Chains A and B, each alone.
Chain A
């Protein structure tokens, strides 16, 4: 497989087209648009209840150029499993089957069917586009909403830390696992290219900021997605056969404070909490170095 090595080589064809119903500056829409460049037209996608499920189609119009099914909240990976079983029995081998969920459809209400599909090593790609909150219903906290993030139902900041979804998924021994960020499109596209080539269960977790939920301006989506990587809170890596490879080492490192203070959702976070988070990031960074 030849990896796309520069943005100039990215195919121009749009499979998630303009005219979708997302907000301006929606990180989730960016993520889909980038991923579809690698997945290509022979892809069937199922998306459970979420912003992404609704912005790609409304009434009789759709932004999708591939078969798209807006599934129920709990079961996108199960639907994808059934689609794969049906394609296999018909001898159709060259189609990517993708379940694409937000953080709730992945880590919370959708977790049961995800862990089932992962354990069965279904030949599908599950993607979590993570805006760290339930934006489709106005931004309530979920299990991978960060510690101390303010949401409408955690007005004082979320009292518990984010659960480590990547460790949980890694524990299922997927054929491929990767993190991605909409601020690093080439890295994201290459990961989807690789995932498309590999057989078995593949999991890609994308940090996809939502300006509304994060309390930032709509033109800051990409900037924040990059700062998350630069401050070390979001690492870009992939795992094949359980071996981890960091794919992007940011050119500069910034304090987490710089990332957090740009966002309205961390306004109640005091300096002590920020220092504690910084210490944790530093410790993790040390681990990677040694």
Chain B
């Protein structure tokens, strides 16, 4: 069924279709409407779910964790300050291998205070051990959330998943979204209970762990996160069998075959970049695009494979790791290390909601082509559009 939905509504419908059983969230702009929509579903009886009306984001994730450990499918929404406030709980959820799914409606972190989008909030949580997926449009928000439950709950993975989309650009903008049938989703996503806190099988969870065991747990956790990258491909294929929509695995290339200069982006910029690539191709430029869907685990091998034939790579980062540059650029450089001839140009742009349009990206492309032609070494990173 096709409906005109904004990103927040798409996320709420995904939660309904996934038959989430516990919702624990604290209102934050611009994510709060997801919570309102789900509580509406609960009130009208289209979703059987317990809403825990917590007093903070920290407690929201704590409650979702408790619920998942007690055997329920749990969901929540946050972004920005709320995500930062959850930080220590994020580590508990991943360290305990609990498949909580969370929609993150990306928004800049203060100070200065901003209500507008960028990826800085989630990049700040890059080390927390969650699978991190980015969505390009509202259909992908819905589809990725459904895939996130299956991915996180997969026996080989058992990890929490964040599904990222941008505040306002996606959360408050309507697009046509195709909603799969409930029954089809139920087949794709059966409810399997694996309670950790179970009176019939009592376990002590998170006991004090000494050096003789801690690092081994961490190794297993990291191995599971790496496996998530492989399982995502499977999950995407299975989902495509259900809906005909295949979002690919960790990365997707666009017009890469003979591309000389490849733009690399995550989130809403991908759509803009796709149009920019078409525009550049129309005037004879050998432009290409690599969409990074999976930020954690970072799919270095897939990136390397996709970019093998390119002459240069342009990382478009809607985030800044202060003093270090863009997170995507850093990952690309690390992933491409050894492909000696492949310069990585790094642009910081669109922070705090600063508009980035097709012309901006074509102009960046031209700047890069000139620098490439002149043989100058790329700067560690540069700011665009100040």
Contact = CB atoms under 8 A, between A and B. Distances in A.
Contacts of B72: 85-86, 89-90
Interface residues on A, range: 35 or more
A8 to B, nearest CB: 27
B279 interface: no
Nearest to B201: A67
Interface in B188-226: 193, 195-199, 202-210, 212-213
Contacts of A71: 62, 66, 92, 206
Which of B55, B62, B195 counts the most A-chain CB atoms under 10 A from its CB?
Answer: B62
Interface residues of B, number: 46
A83 B92 contact: no
A71 B48 CA distance: 27
B220 to A, nearest CB: 15
Contacts of A56: 204, 207
B56 interface: yes
Contacts of A43: 199
Contacts of A69: 66, 69, 197, 205-206
Interface stretch (A113-121, A156-164, A187-195): A113-121
Interface string A177-210: 0000000000000000000000000000000000
A90 B69 CA distance: 13
Contacts of B205: 67-70
A88 interface: yes
A200 B54 CA distance: 16
Interface stretch (A57-65, A167-175, A214-222, A226-234): A57-65
A79 interface: yes
B306 interface: no
Which of A58, A65, A86 counts the most B-chain CB atoms under 10 A from its CB?
Answer: A86
Given A78-B66, A116-B59, A85 B208 contact: no
Nearest to B24: A82
A54 interface: yes
Interface string B55-93: 110111011111111111010000000000000110010
Which of B53, B65, B202 counts the most A-chain CB atoms under 10 A from its CB?
Answer: B202
Nearest to A99: B66
Nearest to B100: A82
B55 A113 contact: yes
A86 B66 contact: yes
Contacts of B56: 112-113, 116
Given A83-B67, A83-B69, A89-B21, A67 B55 contact: no
Contact of B62 (A62, A67, A82): A82
Contacts of B62: 71-72, 74-75, 78-79, 82, 113
Contact of B67 (A41, A42, A85, A116): A85
Nearest to B64: A82
Contacts of B212: 59
B52 interface: yes
B70 A82 contact: yes
B203 A72 contact: no
A11 B161 CA distance: 44
A56 B202 CA distance: 13
A80 B197 CA distance: 11
B217 to A, nearest CB: 11
Nearest to B60: A78
Nearest to A76: B62
Contacts of B213: 59-60
A77 B209 CA distance: 23
B89 to A, nearest CB: 6
A280 to B, nearest CB: 33
B266 to A, nearest CB: 30
Contacts of B74: 82, 86
B199 A95 contact: yes
A66 B63 contact: no
A44 interface: yes
Contacts of A77: 59
Contacts of B67: 82-83, 85-86
Interface in A24-60: 41-44, 46, 54, 56-60
A81 B66 contact: yes
A44 B210 contact: no
A70 B204 CA distance: 8
B207 A82 contact: no
B182 interface: no
B50 interface: yes
A23 interface: no
A200 to B, nearest CB: 15
A102 to B, nearest CB: 16
Contacts of B199: 41-44, 66-67, 95
Which of B74, B195, B197 counts the most A-chain CB atoms under 10 A from its CB?
Answer: B197
B61 to A, nearest CB: 8
A275 interface: no
B55 A112 contact: yes
B151 interface: no
Given A75-B59, A78-B63, A83 B197 contact: yes
23 contacts: A57-B207, A59-B207, A66-B202, A67-B196, A67-B198, A69-B206, A70-B207, A71-B62, A75-B62, A78-B66, A81-B54, A81-B66, A82-B24, A82-B63, A82-B69, A85-B52, A85-B67, A86-B70, A88-B50, A90-B72, A116-B54, A116-B56, A119-B55
- Minimum-distance CB pairs A-B, first 4: A82-B66, A116-B55, A82-B63, A78-B59
Given A67-B196, A72-B88, 18 more contacts: A60-B207, A66-B199, A67-B198, A71-B62, A78-B54, A78-B63, A82-B52, A82-B74, A85-B50, A86-B71, A87-B70, A89-B21, A89-B48, A89-B49, A89-B72, A113-B59, A115-B55, A116-B56
